[in-house]
Structure 1
Amino acid sequence: MNTSARNDSTTAAAAVPAPHPAPESGAVTRLTSLDAYRGFVMFLMMAEVLRISRVARALPESGVWKFLSWHQSHVDWIGCSLHDLIQPSFSFLVGVALPFSVASRIARGQSNGAMLGHALWRAIVLILLGVFLRSTHAASTNWTFEDTLTQIGLGYAFLFALGLRPLRDQWIALGVILVGYWALFALHPVPGADFDYAKVGVTKTWLDTNGLNGFAAHWQKNSNAAWSFDTWFMNLFSREKPFLANRGGYVTLSFIPTLGTMILGLIAGGVLRSGRSPQAKLRWLVIAGVIGLGVGALLGALGVVPVVKRIWTPSWVLFSGGWCCLLLAFFYGVVDHLKARSWAFPLVVIGVNSIAAYLIAHLFQDFILTALTTHLGLAPFQALGPAYQPFLHGAAALGIMWLLLFWMYRRKLFLRI
């Protein structure tokens, strides 16, 4: 990981390879829409500091704050909120950027071996960075692999290898992942009536509200195939106490279908890099988005496989991938096709430095919040009443985090792996 300064203020490095001009166009261009979309995703993550749920609890009669709180929270199991689209969007954009990066590296004369070696190095750094971030408040290394960066890292080398393959192979790989991951869960035995869910952190109240029955029970929280794998795999690492289950139901093997999400991005990136007209690219993204949403929801409705983000079910790959395609269509259509870019500048500042944004949010958020109260007290943040204090306090911290990224942007300092 290094910090680089560039002469071109429109060129920046992020967590993933930045897009380069398509050979078909012959022009030195950049898809600002990818930076804007990535910035939007990172903004949603950074905006957790607004603590909207606390405002909603203080104002239980407000439907607006209740709505905003729901969309800044992850659903308990089945379904999707706006917050649930952060990780798939970030993973999807890794794939979208890859065709541009590969083409640029090939144009600079890099061999496939050199490119794969760099991809493997990037994968290792992402995995370890994710583990590091999960360990910042732990007494020792917290060997867990559900962090967004770690999940991307576990599949990145495979994604890069697919980026060197024909489109047909990418579609085949996606199909194998979806069907294979479905079969892994479907063939795993459902726990018996005597299974102790309380032992794995699943309460009776949770089961009564979110529990799955019948065939869908193969995807039940902390009793499924991927959970079973983790009860072996996670205990291979040094731990303060034996691993029994992840409190949120997240699993290591989600990196496999997350790779499927990245492959969808890889295919979409190939479309954006192609010689098709902007209208044809937009049409492909919209159609792909609608199909993904429809098929994913239908698989859930028919009982084939529930739409669960926390274990990244195949229906979730398609459903969230549909949303990703539609969001990409919006940003590409408005920012790059219609050239309406000024409104997106605050998002671009975040998107071109997404690794820095990720680290600032995870490592410095609490420090900034504490510093604000130390030097200003709570009075400025209670100007609208005590109920709004968490929101205004968080908004000030969010503004400072953005200004840090803006300072880096102005000085052409971009953190990359």
Structure 2
Amino acid sequence: MSSPFLAVMKSSPALTAPGTPVAPIATGRLVSLDALRGFDMFWIMSGEHIIHALAKATGWPVLLWMSSQLHHVDWNGCTFYDMIFPLFLFIAGVSMPYSLQGKLKRAGLDSAEQLSFAAKKPIYQSMLRRTLILIFLGMVVNGLFAFKGYEQTRFASVLGRIGLAWLGAGIIFLNTSTRGQIGAAVLILLGYWATLMWIPVPGFGAGVLTPEGSLPSYIDRLFLPGKLHRTVYDPEGLFSTIPAVATALLGMLTGTLLKDTRRSMNQKTLAMLGLGVSLILLGLLWDQIFPINKRLWTSSFTVYVGGWSLVFLAVFYYIIDVQGFQKWAFPFVLIGTNSILIYLASDGIVNFAHTAHFLFDGFSQFFTLPWQPVIQALAVTAVQLSLLYVLYRNKLFLKI
């Protein structure tokens, strides 16, 4: 029985939770998922600082464009940086069918919905425990231990949303067929669209998609305890978590596709690419009447970013798992196999910048001023990857 809180296991990690590694790189088994998770986390871990510094030092148009993509949009619209969070949630969803494959095989069943309630009960308990842990860790990242009091404590968080959305999608996954999961995702997205457009907010009316006047913002102000991140709304609030369930469901459906032995790996790649491009176009079309908006996690945003998530996974899957080119992705695998740990550490728990300055400040003095921030950003990444490499070599993975 695993610990009810956190366990650091000295073994190959199981496929059982958001951010849990799929397989070590040596196994050749869906290495692409770990690599994509690591690629996703790299940008918020330290990659963004490297690009910002390089753009400032060189002034090259391509780097300036990349730097502009590593900022959130103020409200409507979407940059690459806005995709990082939903891509991680999508990847967590992909892992779900793999986490159940052993249990299903032992029971001689084809799908999770065929499991008895007795067989599902420990799965529910495990999922709920992980969700509560992620909510708690999210509050820790928000500064829980500063003890500023209830009114100044932010309860909503990125990790909390991952836990809640993954839990909601997992319950649907365990109790419906593939067709039912598709139907549930469609119903969630259409229902969310209808409620935001048709339910009036006191003082604003219906269909007002502004920070103050949107229905999710109003619900946050009424029911979300503690402090709101943006005063009048919270980007990880209560109501806007509902469409995030569809993001996780899309990942679970993708995981089911990848496990389908009736399709070749090339067919799976083409299926992901085709569906991904279709969803991107659908999201852009929907954007004309229901704006793409990460803060509200609008249905058009869910579809649009879900499409890009499929495209990213298709590319990584084809290069790494189909063609077998794995060595280039090893740094991303280091990050991906301990993604929750490095997220927590990089978000203030560990001061990697201090260590990097201590080790590399002297070296950076050999460079002119515009390039010193580049060296410092690379140094932070080197320190982070060194820690992750030691953990990987010793098979130490944070399991939630």
TM-score normalised over the length of structure 2: 0.85
Tell me the residue number matched to 1:25. Answer: none
Cα–Cα, structure 1 residues 394 and 337, in superposed 2: closer, same or farther, change >3 Å? Answer: same
SS in 2 for 1:344: helix
2:221 paired with 1:223: no
Matches within 5 A, 1:139-150: 139-140=147-148, 143-150=153-160
SS in 2 for 1:222: coil
Tell me the residue number matched to 2:181. Answer: 170
Tell me the residue number matched to 1:350. Answer: 335
Cα–Cα, structure 1 residues 188 and 382, in superposed 2: closer, same or farther, change >3 Å? Answer: farther
SS in 1 for 2:314: helix
| 2: CA distance, partners of 1:242 / 1:392 | 33
Tell me by how many angstroms 1:70 deviates. 0.7
Q: CA RMSD in A?
A: 2.9
Tell me the residue number matched to 2:111. Answer: none
SS in 2 for 1:219: coil
SS in 2 for 1:390: helix
| 1: CA distance, partners of 2:40 / 2:230 | 31
Matches within 5 A, 1:11-410: 15-19=18-22, 30-47=29-46, 50=49, 52-53=51-52, 56=55, 62-107=60-105, 111-135=119-143, 138-140=146-148, 143-164=153-174, 165-189=176-200, 218-234=208-224, 236-237=225-226, 244-246=231-233, 251-275=237-261, 276-301=263-288, 303=289, 305-364=290-349, 367-374=351-358, 377=361, 380-410=363-393
SS in 1 for 2:377: helix
| 1: CA distance, partners of 2:237 / 2:189 | 16
SS in 1 for 2:398: strand
Alignment check: 8 A CA contact 1:13 1:414 kept = no
Q: Deviations over 1:243-263 (max 9, x none)?
A: 8424x7553322111111111
Alignment check: 8 A CA contact 1:52 1:69 kept = yes
Tell me the residue number matched to 1:5. Answer: 10
Cα–Cα, structure 1 residues 250 and 120, in superposed 2: closer, same or farther, change >3 Å? Answer: closer
- The amino acid that maps onto 2:188 is I
Cα–Cα, structure 1 residues 382 and 72, in superposed 2: closer, same or farther, change >3 Å? Answer: farther
Report how many residues are paired: 378
Tell me the residue number matched to 2:110. Answer: none
Q: Percent identity?
A: 31
- The amino acid that maps onto 1:361 is S
Tell me by how many angstroms 1:53 deviates. 4.1
Cα–Cα, structure 1 residues 375 and 40, in superposed 2: closer, same or farther, change >3 Å? Answer: closer
| 1: CA distance, partners of 2:148 / 2:22 | 38
| 1: CA distance, partners of 2:106 / 2:136 | 29
Tell me the residue number matched to 2:115. Answer: none
| 1: CA distance, partners of 2:15 / 2:131 | 20
| 5+ residue gaps, structure 1 | 21-27, 196-213
Alignment check: 8 A CA contact 1:13 1:353 kept = no
